[in-house]
């Protein structure tokens, strides 16, 4: 699901213009990003799941074409769905 899919779904459910829904969705992602940038490095949405900021170690990458590339340590974002949502998704599959 892309950001545009989310905007369209919100617009259809709420009956609001897509431009307004785009602002709402962008504001939501901005709030999540600010939470991830905070000291705790996590953003928990009750009933949905938790976004975590995770530090990846520096490493040496070996591309298929040969040579070596140094990849410095950096932060990534991981998501852990709430247990109930995870179980419901497993039942559908």
Residue ranges covered by each domain of the chain: 1-37, 41-93
Q: How many residues does the chain have?
A: 93
pLDDT band at 27 (very low <50, low <70, confident <90, very high): very high
pLDDT band at 16 (very low <50, low <70, confident <90, very high): very high
Give me the pLDDT at residue 83, please. Answer: 81
Beta-bridged to residue 12, according to DSSP, are none
**Which architecture does CATH list for 41-93?**
Irregular (4.10)
Positive or negative: CA dihedral 27, 33, 37, 41: positive
Give me the pLDDT at residue 93, please. Answer: 67
What does the alpha-carbon distance between residue 42 and residue 50 come to, in Å, rounded to a whole number?
7
- What pLDDT digit, counting tens, does each position of 63-90 carry? 888 888 888 999 999 999 888 766 776 7
Q: Is the pLDDT of residue 18 over 80?
A: yes
Q: Residues with Cβ < 8 Å from 21, sequence gap 6 or more?
A: 7, 8, 10, 11, 14
DSSP state of 40: S
- What pLDDT digit, counting tens, does each position of 31-72 carry? 999 988 888 888 998 888 999 999 999 999 888 888 888 889
């Amino acid at each position: 699901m892309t950001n545009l899919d989310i905007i369209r779904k919100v617009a259809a459910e709420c009956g609001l213009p897509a431009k307004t829904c785009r602002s709402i969705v962008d504001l939501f992602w901005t709030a999540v990003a600010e939470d991830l940038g905070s000291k705790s490095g996590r953003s928990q949405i009750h009933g949905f799941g938790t976004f975590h900021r995770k530090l990846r170690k520096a490493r040496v990458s070996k591309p298929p074409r040969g040579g070596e590339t140094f990849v410095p340590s950096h932060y990534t974002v991981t998501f852990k769905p709430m247990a109930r949502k995870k179980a419901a998704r497993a039942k559908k599959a």
